[in-house]
Amino acid sequence: MTSEEKKVYLLLKAVIFHYHGLDDAEQRDLEKVAADFNGADELAWALAFVAEDYITAFDRARVYLNNIIGDYAKSKRVELINMVWQSNNLKGYVTEMEATAMLKLARDWNVEKELIELVLQ
């Protein structure tokens, strides 16, 4: 996995997790994923990106991610949005705000139908 792919993956998780406020389980999940991917620098970058301004973090991340992910294959876009959905399910629920954020990203990436199908499974 390239450094850019690690940044995309970790920023996507971080911005969704911070949407309602990062809890301990989500922080551990981010740290575990970063360790698994040898991505400590990319995690630090993603957290700094979010911390720059929590209020605008999601909108800024959307712009950043849309510029990169538009070039990804559809299967990769679906994989990324599903990864975030599954990560949120680890805590046993997905908040309405998180679901709305993921739907916005899925719509941006033209994989809204695929996300809905994955959720219904």
pLDDT tens track for 60-96: 999 999 999 888 999 999 998 888 888 877 777 788 8
How many separate domains does the chain show? 1
Q: Report pLDDT for 18.
A: 86
Q: Is the pTM of this model over 0.85?
A: yes
Which residue intervals of 1-121 are DSSP H helices? 3-17, 24-36, 40-52, 57-69, 74-89, 96-108, 112-120
DSSP state of 26: H
Q: Which domain holds residue 26?
A: 3-120
